[in-house]
Amino acid sequence: MSQLLFWPWSKWLTRTLIDEPVPLGSPTTVACTVHVPLREPYELSFSFVRRWEGEDIRDYLYGRGYFKRHWPVGDTVIPVSWSLTDVRSGRVIASGVEKNLQVSGWSQDSVYMHIASPKVPVGTYLFKAEVLGAIAPELRGVTPRLLLALPGHKASSTWQLTVVFWGALVSTLIIWPLILILGGFALWLARPQFIQSEAASR
């Protein structure tokens, strides 16, 4: 029973809070209500599709390669203004204006650019982000996704994430294997009865 409750709870707790497309061709605003379940540093970032129109955008964003026949000049400039406003009090709890973004990681399919690491009390907030000013012309057909999620590292400052980490580890290494072993043992104990019932039916 605890396993049935643990996994939905851990998924809800560690879910991505915001995942919205942001076209870079013109000034764009993202506004939504979001519930922050943990007092942890979240990561606000852009997620780019790594291969865009047949080209690998990672090297361009990383400052080491061409994209749409353009060589990057210095840092990638995507001016972003963002804020988290407490729904109950109307106060802005965290905000910032970022401009020179840095690549924070990549995978086979995506490239991530770090914007900010807001840490706010548990609660419900109005999130607002605006892409401001001029953007490099070669990026004006690109539509990254704006993400607000827990970072990928294992460090945590709340007991909930500690429980999620160790609970998942214990479940994977101990509980599920134990369930499989006990299930197999139960089938082995039931085997004589099954054989007797098969013989009686004949």
3-state helix, strand, coil in the chain (%, to 5): 30, 35, 35
Structure-token pair, residue 171 = 């479940």
Q: How far apart are CA 60 and CA 176, in angstroms?
A: 44
For residue 90, the model assigns a pLDDT of: 96
For residue 182, the model assigns a pLDDT of: 58
Give, to the nearest 10 degrees, the angle between helix 159-170 and helix 2-13. 130
Element (H, E) at 80: strand 76-86
Which pTM does this prediction carry?
0.71
Give every CB contact of residue 101 below 8 A, 6+ residues apart in sequence. 46, 75, 76, 77, 78, 80, 113, 114, 115
Extract the runs of DSSP E, i.e. beta strands, from the chain.
18-21, 28-36, 43-49, 51-52, 55-56, 76-86, 92-106, 110-116, 123-131, 145-149
For residue 11, the model assigns a pLDDT of: 78
Extract the runs of DSSP E, i.e. beta strands, from 107-144.
110-116, 123-131
Do 43 and 151 touch, CB atoms closer than 8 A? yes
38-69 tens-digit pLDDT: 888 999 999 999 887 778 888 888 776 767 66
Domain over 16-153 is classified CATH 2.60.120.10:
no
| SS3 call for 184 | helix
Paired with 28 in beta bridges are 131
Q: Which residues of the chain have pLDDT under 70?
A: 1-7, 9, 12, 64, 66, 68-75, 134, 152-202
For residue 60, the model assigns a pLDDT of: 80
Q: How far apart are CA 160 and CA 147, in angstroms?
A: 22
For residue 47, the model assigns a pLDDT of: 94
Residue type, 60: Y
